Amino acid sequence: MKIQKAIATDTELIFTLLKSVAAHMREQGIMQWNENYPTLEHVIGDIVAENVYLGMEDGIIMGVISIDANQSPEYDEMPWKYTDGKVLVVHRLAVSPSAQKKGIGKQLMDFALNTAIEEGYTAIRLDAYSKNQGTLHFYENRGYQKRGEIYFPYRDEPFYCYEKLVRQ
Protein backbone atom coordinates (compact mmCIF):
# COMPACT_ATOMS: atom_id res chain seq x y z
CA MET A 1 0.00 0.00 0.00
CA LYS A 2 1.19 3.50 -0.82
CA ILE A 3 0.46 6.39 1.56
CA GLN A 4 0.15 9.83 0.02
CA LYS A 5 -1.07 13.27 1.00
CA ALA A 6 -4.63 13.99 -0.12
CA ILE A 7 -5.34 16.81 -2.56
CA ALA A 8 -8.49 18.82 -3.31
CA THR A 9 -9.67 16.43 -6.01
CA ASP A 10 -9.79 13.65 -3.36
CA THR A 11 -12.42 15.46 -1.27
CA GLU A 12 -15.52 13.62 -2.47
CA LEU A 13 -13.77 10.24 -2.48
CA ILE A 14 -12.64 10.73 1.12
CA PHE A 15 -16.08 11.85 2.24
CA THR A 16 -17.68 8.86 0.48
CA LEU A 17 -15.25 6.54 2.26
CA LEU A 18 -16.03 8.12 5.64
CA LYS A 19 -19.78 7.79 5.01
CA SER A 20 -19.38 4.13 4.04
CA VAL A 21 -17.37 3.45 7.21
CA ALA A 22 -20.01 5.23 9.32
CA ALA A 23 -22.79 3.14 7.72
CA HIS A 24 -20.78 -0.05 8.26
CA MET A 25 -20.33 0.80 11.95
CA ARG A 26 -24.04 1.54 12.35
CA GLU A 27 -24.85 -1.85 10.79
CA GLN A 28 -22.76 -3.37 13.60
CA GLY A 29 -24.58 -1.32 16.25
CA ILE A 30 -21.67 1.09 16.71
CA MET A 31 -23.08 4.62 16.74
CA GLN A 32 -19.69 6.31 16.67
CA TRP A 33 -20.21 8.60 13.69
CA ASN A 34 -23.44 10.35 12.73
CA GLU A 35 -24.74 13.15 10.52
CA ASN A 36 -22.84 15.69 12.66
CA TYR A 37 -19.45 13.99 12.40
CA PRO A 38 -17.53 13.63 10.22
CA THR A 39 -18.85 16.16 7.75
CA LEU A 40 -17.74 17.32 4.33
CA GLU A 41 -16.46 20.44 6.08
CA HIS A 42 -14.11 18.28 8.19
CA VAL A 43 -12.70 16.73 5.02
CA ILE A 44 -12.29 20.09 3.30
CA GLY A 45 -10.60 21.50 6.41
CA ASP A 46 -8.18 18.56 6.52
CA ILE A 47 -7.27 19.00 2.87
CA VAL A 48 -6.79 22.76 3.21
CA ALA A 49 -4.60 22.15 6.29
CA GLU A 50 -2.70 19.47 4.34
CA ASN A 51 -2.99 16.96 7.19
CA VAL A 52 -4.93 14.11 5.59
CA TYR A 53 -3.26 11.07 4.07
CA LEU A 54 -4.60 8.27 1.91
CA GLY A 55 -3.75 4.60 1.91
CA MET A 56 -3.86 3.69 -1.78
CA GLU A 57 -3.85 0.35 -3.59
CA ASP A 58 -4.11 0.18 -7.36
CA GLY A 59 -5.39 3.75 -7.47
CA ILE A 60 -8.19 3.07 -4.98
CA ILE A 61 -8.46 4.74 -1.56
CA MET A 62 -8.40 1.93 1.01
CA GLY A 63 -8.02 4.08 4.10
CA VAL A 64 -7.56 7.61 5.37
CA ILE A 65 -5.96 9.28 8.38
CA SER A 66 -5.72 12.90 9.51
CA ILE A 67 -2.85 13.91 11.75
CA ASP A 68 -1.93 17.29 13.21
CA ALA A 69 -1.19 19.05 16.49
CA ASN A 70 -4.77 20.23 17.07
CA GLN A 71 -6.34 18.82 20.20
CA SER A 72 -10.07 18.96 20.83
CA PRO A 73 -11.02 21.37 23.63
CA GLU A 74 -12.37 18.35 25.50
CA TYR A 75 -8.76 17.14 25.86
CA ASP A 76 -7.95 20.05 28.21
CA GLU A 77 -9.19 18.23 31.31
CA MET A 78 -7.46 14.94 30.53
CA PRO A 79 -4.67 13.78 32.89
CA TRP A 80 -2.09 13.33 30.13
CA LYS A 81 1.20 11.73 31.14
CA TYR A 82 3.43 13.26 28.45
CA THR A 83 3.07 17.00 28.78
CA ASP A 84 6.49 18.19 27.64
CA GLY A 85 7.12 18.73 23.96
CA LYS A 86 4.92 18.57 20.87
CA VAL A 87 1.92 16.26 20.59
CA LEU A 88 0.61 14.71 17.36
CA VAL A 89 -3.12 13.98 17.29
CA VAL A 90 -4.81 11.32 15.18
CA HIS A 91 -8.23 12.21 13.76
CA ARG A 92 -10.61 10.25 11.54
CA LEU A 93 -8.72 7.04 10.94
CA ALA A 94 -10.95 5.02 8.62
CA VAL A 95 -10.52 1.92 6.49
CA SER A 96 -12.90 0.96 3.71
CA PRO A 97 -15.27 -1.79 4.93
CA SER A 98 -14.14 -4.01 2.04
CA ALA A 99 -10.50 -3.61 3.08
CA GLN A 100 -10.75 -4.07 6.84
CA LYS A 101 -8.70 -6.73 8.62
CA LYS A 102 -5.95 -6.46 6.01
CA GLY A 103 -3.44 -4.36 7.95
CA ILE A 104 -4.34 -1.01 6.38
CA GLY A 105 -5.20 0.65 9.69
CA LYS A 106 -1.91 -0.65 11.11
CA GLN A 107 0.03 0.81 8.18
CA LEU A 108 -1.69 4.18 8.57
CA MET A 109 -0.93 4.24 12.30
CA ASP A 110 2.68 3.25 11.59
CA PHE A 111 2.79 6.20 9.19
CA ALA A 112 1.51 8.49 11.97
CA LEU A 113 4.14 7.14 14.37
CA ASN A 114 6.94 7.53 11.84
CA THR A 115 5.78 11.08 11.10
CA ALA A 116 5.81 11.85 14.82
CA ILE A 117 9.36 10.51 15.14
CA GLU A 118 10.62 12.37 12.06
CA GLU A 119 9.04 15.65 13.12
CA GLY A 120 10.16 15.52 16.75
CA TYR A 121 6.86 14.94 18.53
CA THR A 122 6.93 13.66 22.11
CA ALA A 123 3.63 11.80 22.12
CA ILE A 124 0.64 10.80 20.03
CA ARG A 125 -2.89 11.29 21.32
CA LEU A 126 -6.26 10.17 20.03
CA ASP A 127 -9.74 9.33 21.14
CA ALA A 128 -11.83 6.26 20.40
CA TYR A 129 -15.51 5.52 20.86
CA SER A 130 -16.04 3.52 24.06
CA LYS A 131 -18.53 1.15 22.38
CA ASN A 132 -16.22 0.24 19.49
CA GLN A 133 -14.40 -2.68 21.10
CA GLY A 134 -12.42 -3.59 17.99
CA THR A 135 -10.97 -0.11 17.76
CA LEU A 136 -10.18 0.02 21.48
CA HIS A 137 -8.27 -3.28 21.23
CA PHE A 138 -6.52 -2.06 18.06
CA TYR A 139 -5.07 0.98 19.86
CA GLU A 140 -4.29 -0.86 23.10
CA ASN A 141 -2.47 -3.61 21.17
CA ARG A 142 -0.35 -0.88 19.56
CA GLY A 143 0.79 0.43 22.97
CA TYR A 144 -1.64 3.31 23.46
CA GLN A 145 -2.61 3.85 27.08
CA LYS A 146 -6.05 4.99 28.19
CA ARG A 147 -5.95 8.29 30.11
CA GLY A 148 -9.65 8.91 30.68
CA GLU A 149 -12.88 9.65 28.89
CA ILE A 150 -14.58 12.62 27.31
CA TYR A 151 -17.96 13.38 25.79
CA PHE A 152 -18.53 15.05 22.46
CA PRO A 153 -21.66 16.95 21.40
CA TYR A 154 -24.39 14.83 19.80
CA ARG A 155 -22.96 11.62 21.31
CA ASP A 156 -24.54 9.69 24.17
CA GLU A 157 -21.55 7.51 25.03
CA PRO A 158 -18.03 8.55 26.06
CA PHE A 159 -14.89 8.45 23.98
CA TYR A 160 -11.72 7.13 25.60
CA CYS A 161 -8.57 9.22 25.28
CA TYR A 162 -5.34 7.40 24.55
CA GLU A 163 -1.73 8.46 24.54
CA LYS A 164 1.55 6.91 23.44
CA LEU A 165 5.11 8.05 24.01
CA VAL A 166 7.04 8.50 20.77
CA ARG A 167 10.42 6.80 20.91
CA GLN A 168 13.00 9.01 19.22
Domains (range + CATH), the chain: 2-165 (3.40.630.30)
The string of pLDDT tens digits covering residues 81-140 is 999 999 999 999 999 999 999 999 999 999 999 999 999 999 999 999 999 999 999 999
Flag the least confident range among 30-39, 59-68, 71-80, 119-128: 30-39
The string of pLDDT tens digits covering residues 11-23 is 999 999 999 999 9
Look at residues 135, 108, 138, 160 and name the one whose alpha carbon lies nearest to residue 24. Answer: 135
pTM assigned to the model: 0.95
